Structure 1
Amino acid sequence: MLKFLEPINQCVYVPSEIGIPEYLPFFEPEFTLRPDLPKRADNHNSKEFLAAIRQEVMENIRQVKGAPSVQMMPIPEDMLDNDLALRQPEIGDDERPKDHDETNVTYSGMES
Structure 2
Amino acid sequence: MAEWEAPGTPPGEEPIWIAPLHLHHQDDEAWYVLDGLLCVRIGDEVVTAKRGEAVIVPHGTPHTFWNPSIETTRYLIIMQGQIHPLIEAIHRMERRDPEAMKELFRQYNSELLGW
What's the TM-score once normalised by structure 2's chain length?
0.15
Higher relative contact order (CA 8 A, sep 6+): 2
Structure 1 or 2: more strand by fraction: 2
Q: Which has the larger radius of gyration?
A: 1
Structure 1 or 2: more helix by fraction: 1
What's the TM-score once normalised by structure 1's chain length?
0.15
